[in-house]
Amino acid sequence: MTYVEEKDVEAGLSLCTLRTGEDLFGIETSAVREALYQCEVRQVPLAPQFVAGVLAYRGEVLLAVSFRALLGLPANEATCGAIVLEDGESGELFALLIDELLDVVQVADSAWEPNPATLDERRSGVFSGVYRSTGAPLVRLQTERLQPSLLMRNSSAGLPAGGPR
């Protein structure tokens, strides 16, 4: 997979890639605090569907967001990996449960396209466009749209889990 041409490296963006379900996603590396390959998530009674539970992280308790639930995919018992994300503005730390953590790639700004108009509300709330390449499309995620505090506000307001379009 190549998402950037050599001449465009300086104008691009560094994304941490991950797979959930059959799709490939990327999130800015600056938002990723740490990758957890093994984690024990404890369920929270009566929590919204997107809350997988809580997990211990370096002496703190983090809310774990199920990315599969946000995408409307069925739960997968094999999902045991997580990335700890930090929102740059609020400083909120949380874990995003994923199926598989892949690699870090450089993407060219010229390869980015906005979300298609046909994308459903659930997905358009957390997606921020797509990078096209010779391989599978790489969907860009927005950290601030994945924050548990924002997801909670939106779910109580009746909006799709990822927020307004």
Confidence band of 95 (pLDDT split at 50, 70, 90): very high
Confidence of residue 136 (pLDDT cuts 50, 70, 90): confident
C-beta of residue 83 within 8 angstroms of C-beta of residue 101: yes
Q: Which domains does the chain have, with CATH numbers?
A: 6-150 (2.40.50.180)
Q: pLDDT confidence of 4, banded at 50, 70, 90?
A: very low
Token digits of residue 72: 């409307």
Residues 6 or more apart whose CB falls under 8 angstroms from that of 58 comprise none
pLDDT at 114: 92
CA distance 148 to 153: 9
pLDDT at position 79: 61
The pLDDT of residue 164 is 39
pTM of the model: 0.84
Q: In this predicted model, which residue has the larger pLDDT, 74 or 89?
A: 74
pLDDT at residue 8, as a whole number = 45
SS (HEC) of 5-56: CHHHHHHCEEEEEEEECCEEEEEEHHHEEEEECCCCCECCCCCCCCEEEEEE
The answer to whether 48 and 104 are in contact (CB under 8 A) is no
Q: Average pLDDT in the 62-86 region?
A: 86
pLDDT at site 102: 93
Q: Using CA atoms of 45, 50, 52, 53 in order, give the dihedral in degrees to the nearest 10.
A: -50
3 or 20, greater pLDDT = 20
Residue 161's pLDDT is what? 52
pLDDT of residue 154: 76
pLDDT digits (tens, 9 = 90+) for 15-64: 999 999 888 999 999 999 999 988 889 999 999 989 999 999 999 999 99
